[in-house]
Amino acid sequence: MANIKILLADDHKIVRDGIKLMLEPHVGIDIEAEAGNGKEVLEVLENTVIDLIIMDINMPEMDGIEATRRVKEKYPDVRILALTMSNDDLHIRQMIQAGASGYIMKSAGRSELKEAVNAIMNGKHYFSDEATHSIMMDLVKGKGKSGSSEPVHITDRELEILELIVKEHTNQEIGEKLFISSRTVDAHRRNLLQKTGARNTAGLVKFAFQHNIISPDDD
């Protein structure tokens, strides 16, 4: 199996150096390139094969949100792990909507960083405990309840995909089961996030259970 080729994007060299020190000792990971802003990320991708970008959100010239959007448009197979100092819900949501597969704090340790990289490269999403706790608290508090009287229209296909998401299937596995491409699955997943107001996969699962779309006991 080929090594995971990683691009580190952060405007602070000391941060990039720290991430390199945490990841380089791991077998199966290659730090292929570095970038100091979103424009440099796009320049690197023109000439270098990259599997995963660890992307800072706040960067000069082009921030991580805009860079993520452009990367996913041009290189849909490149995966992105958002990296930030602050646990900012708005930025989390914008990064996920732009196409990032996960979110991790800069304060994360070596084991969590490696866990996040592995999860995303296996087609899953990864959210730091801090980020997930904040998001789940928003859901528990019922943010957006004023609009809850309006029914959310979910198509039969989206319902099929939601059921498989709840069962922790990856985009690729869902695609194989439903005979559609993983890219199509990803498009449906994003539609579900938009329709339900969920911020991530955990939010979709919570929505499904809260609205009795799927029972926690379903197999």
Same-domain pairing of 112 and 151: no
**Is residue 217 one of the residues assigned to a domain?**
no
pLDDT for residue 148 is more than 60:
no
Q: Which helix (H) or strand (E) holds 115?
A: helix 110-121
Tokens 């596995």, located at residue: 173
pLDDT reported for residue 218: 47
* Residues above pLDDT 70, as percent of the chain: 82
DSSP letter for 145, please.
Answer: G
Domain end call among 84, 116, 137: 137
Same-domain pairing of 188 and 95: no
**Is residue 216 one of the residues assigned to a domain?**
no
Same-domain pairing of 133 and 183: no
Look up the pTM and report it. 0.62
pLDDT band (50, 70, 90) for residue 204: confident
**Is residue 23 one of the residues assigned to a domain?**
yes
Q: What's the number of domains the chain is made of?
A: 2
Q: Which of 181-188's residues contact partners 24+ apart within 8 Å by CB, and which partners? A: 182/123, 183/76, 185/161, 186/76, 188/157, 188/158, 188/161
61-114 pLDDT, tens digit per residue, is 999 999 999 999 999 999 999 987 766 667 777 888 888 988 888 888 888 899
Tell me the one-letter amino acid at 117.
Answer: V
What is the CATH classification number for the domain harbouring 77?
Answer: 3.40.50.2300
